[in-house]
Structures are given as C-alpha cells and as structure tokens.
Amino acid sequence: MQGCTSTTEATTGPVPGPAPGPAFALLGTVQMSLIFTLTALVVPLPRLGREYALDRDDLILLSAAYGLTFSGLLLFGGRVADRFGGRRALRAGLLVFAAASLAALLAPGPQTLLTARFAQGAGAALTAPAAMAVLRAVFPRSPAYERAMATWGGLSVIGATAGNLLSGVISALASWRLTLAVPLAVAAFALVLAPRLLPATPAGAGRSLDLPGALLATGGITLAGYGLVLTDAHPWGSAAVLIPLLAGTALLILFLIAERRAPDPLLPLGFLRDRRRALALATIGLTAAGTAMTFVLLSLHLQQDRGWSAMQTSAAFVPFAVALLASGRAAGPLIARYGAPTLTASGLALAATGLALLALTGLAPQGSYAYGLLPGLLLLPAGAAAGFAGAAVLATDGVEPQQTGLAGGVMNTAMELGPTVVLAALLTLGSDTTSLAAAAAALAAAAFLSTRTA
C-alpha cells in the first residue's frame, strides 16, 4: 500500500474532493462489479464442466472459490481500510482484483482458473469495505450520506442480477470467458479514474491490524462456508461436510474469545449489540439468500423441467431486473419520507409475498409464465431492493467515520454468508417448493421483527 503518495491520507480528516455525483457513480459501479463477479459463472458452470471434464465437487469449489475468500477476508479488509485510508486501500484492492480477473480470463486450465477466483475474492474483500470508507468521505454530512446509503443498498442486488442475466447471454452468444472481462474492465477504469474522482480519506494512525483476529476470522468463515457449500453434494453427516464445518466453527469461537481480550479488536463485539444494526444485517443476509435461491431454483426449473435455453432463461428474469431498478430508485425518497425501519419492514413483507407466490404457482411444470412466474418475479425484487436499501441505512446508522470500513466489511460479510448459510439449510428440506416457502416464512418473520423498530 505504499504506492499511493497522497499525504492527505494520513491527516486527521477528509479533505474537500471532487463532485459527489461522479464519485458515487464510480464507487457504485465498482461495488456492482464485485457482486457481478460472484454470480458470473453460475449459468455457464455446466459448460465449464464439459470443457474441463470436471465432476460435481470440482464445479462446486470453482463456483464457491470467489465467495469463500471474499467473505473470509472482509473483516480484515475493513480494518485495512480504516487503518490506511479508504482510497489507498481501494486502489490496492482494485490492483489485486484486476490482476486476478486477467488471470481468470486467460486461464489455460481449471487449476489456474480456481486460483484466480480465490485471488479475485481476496481483491474484492479489500475493495468493498474501502469503497464504503471513501463513500463516507464523499458524503460527510449525515442526511446526504443516508440518501447515498439508501441507493448503495440496492447496488449489490443489481450486481447479482446483472451477473445472472449477462452471464447467460454472453456465454450463449460467445464464450464464458467474456463474462470475466466485465470486472477486469471496471477495475481498470476505476484505477485510472480514482485519483481524479475520489477524495483522499484519513488513515487511522495508531490502529493495529489485529492479525491474530484476522487469521481466526478468515479461517473460521472460509472453512465453515466451504463446509456449507459442500452440503449441495454430500450429506450433512459426511466427513466432507463435518470436518470443515466443525473446524470453522471452532475457529470462530476462538475468534470471539480473542476479540474480547484484544486491546484493539478487529470486530468490537459492541458493534453488533445495536438492535437495529443486528436486524439490518439479518435482513441483508436473508434478502440476498432469497434472491439467490430464486435464481438457482428457477434457472434449473426452466432449463431442466421446461426445456428452456440459457438465453430464454435469462430473458425470463428481465422483469425481475426492471422491478429491482425501479424499487431501488424509489427507495431514497421513501426512506426520507417514512424512515428506514418502515421501508425495511415493508420491503421484507413484499419480498416474502413474492417468494410465497413463486412457491405456490411458479414451479408447476406446465405453469404459465405470465400468471405463474411473473407476479413473484416482480414482487420479490421490488421488496428485496427496498428492504436492502433500508437495511443499509440502519446498518451504518451512528457508525463513526473511522469505523466505516468495519461497517462495510460486516455488511458485505452478511451479504456473502447469507446465501451460503440459508441455501445450505433450506435446500435440504426436500422439494424446491418447500424451500421457497420456508424462505418466504423467514422473510415474513424478519418483516414482523422490523416493525418493532419502526
């Protein structure tokens, strides 16, 4: 991180920077590209399996590699951003992310691609919380920052949706490799534009990196996440699942013990005691899981049960994307008028209704798209975007500027782990309909709890 020479990064506060509009556009595009990359290989995965002769376990690891290092290193990435300054950490993360994306794009074989996906996740883990730290410098005043966070909350869902849609289209028309050119292009442009568009941010002088805590958190989250991912191919009682799951859980328990004793902990435990923040993080995890489950189950249903092509399947989700964009655009004014808790509760209730409709009518083999799938594909994203926006505001409410990187790391960790944990739990229930209904019930319960804070 010595490559940034701006001396203002070591000052005691942010300095006046460029106009906030272009800066927000750049940061938002970076955030969407990080989540886009998470889902970029989901639709082309069967083609990768045929091309490289990979079995199911290999495909699962290849699909999960980016998310494992992304989620595992996010807390440490947040600490790095708070310690060295957001813009400096952002540029370092983008360099790693761009180099790994180029390696993935040009990978001659599966092992190189797997290594590059792990490295992409490490770069993303440094970039995501750093982007939020810079965002705080772009909007230093509370009302403007809350409006920015309301929009920011929907960007990740948009990025995931774009990844699912575009990867199917690009892989059908050309090659799956071109989907990996998108994050590479975004990272390259961001590296060029960051010095001009983004303000310098303060470094946290005197703060330690808490390396023992970072190692325990990274190892625990990565191992536990890997164990949960393997439940897709192995029983819960198998050694393949239990060994990493139990080892990861043990490391996380040691992490909590170590954080209680650390003079400058990686994750101050009081940070999670705020009721609104805890509920907001749960909301982020659940809505991310609900939308991820919908894409996975419906993509398989449309292609395997109805015989649709990858292109037709991607087209089926276009209304989903439109509803997502419209709801995200309306979220800021609605939060200003009704408050973040109210919008969070309303969004969760709407998303739960959408999932319930999909469970009831969406998975019928000969069901109508217009009357069976479309209502749920409109209500779910509209509610998810609204709930995400409100939760993003609540998760950062009252956070000190010097902890913005921490807040970004915790938010993104919830967003990454939510789908992993919830999908592993719900997909073992039996039928796809039961899984969607259970997800709808979980969102409805979260909506009820949110009303208690409104």
155 in any annotated domain: yes
pLDDT at 293: 81
Number of domains in the chain: 2
- Tell me, yes or no, whether 283 and 150 share the same domain: yes
**Boundary (domain end) residue, out of 233, 249, 265:** 265
365 in any annotated domain: yes
Location of structure tokens 């208690």? 452
- Tell me, yes or no, whether 303 and 156 share the same domain: yes
pLDDT in tens, 111-134: 999 999 999 999 999 999 999 889
Least confident of 64-78, 195-209, 276-290: 195-209
6 in any annotated domain: no
Rounded to an integer, what distance in angstroms lies between the CA atom of residue 78 and that of residue 90? 11
The model's pTM: 0.82
Domain housing 244:
211-265
- Tell me, yes or no, whether 322 and 244 share the same domain: no
CATH number of the CATH domain containing 428:
1.20.1250.20
**Boundary (domain end) residue, out of 219, 243, 265:** 265
- Tell me, yes or no, whether 95 and 165 share the same domain: yes
Average pLDDT, the chain: 84
Nearest to 12 by CA among 409, 401, 442: 401
Residue 181 or residue 429, greater confidence: 181
Residue 389: is its pLDDT beyond 50? yes
Q: 402 burial class (0-12, 13-18, 19+ CB within 10 angstroms)?
A: middle
Alpha helix ranges (H) inside 198-232: 211-229
- Tell me, yes or no, whether 177 and 54 share the same domain: yes
User: 223: pLDDT confidence band, cut at 50, 70 and 90?
Assistant: very high
- Tell me, yes or no, whether 74 and 157 share the same domain: yes
- Tell me, yes or no, whether 238 and 291 share the same domain: no
User: 60: pLDDT confidence band, cut at 50, 70 and 90?
Assistant: confident
Q: What is the mean pLDDT of residues 269-276?
A: 80
- Please, are residues 79 and 405 in contact by the beta-carbon 8 Å criterion? yes
**Boundary (domain end) residue, out of 223, 249, 265:** 265
pLDDT at 98: 97
7 in any annotated domain: no
pLDDT in tens, 289-320: 888 888 878 877 887 788 887 778 888 888 99
- Please, are residues 37 and 66 in contact by the beta-carbon 8 Å criterion? yes
- Tell me, yes or no, whether 310 and 379 share the same domain: yes
- Tell me, yes or no, whether 247 and 376 share the same domain: no
- Tell me, yes or no, whether 178 and 244 share the same domain: no
10 in any annotated domain: no
pLDDT at 10: 39
Spatial neighbors of 425 by CB under 8 A, at least 6 apart, are none
pLDDT in tens, 171-221: 777 788 888 899 999 999 999 999 999 988 777 665 677 889 889 999 999
3 in any annotated domain: no
285 in any annotated domain: yes
- Tell me, yes or no, whether 287 and 394 share the same domain: yes
- Tell me, yes or no, whether 117 and 250 share the same domain: no
Residue 9: is its pLDDT beyond 60? no
Spatial neighbors of 367 by CB under 8 A, at least 6 apart, are 361, 373
88 in any annotated domain: yes
Rounded to an integer, what distance in angstroms lies between the CA atom of residue 117 and that of residue 372? 37
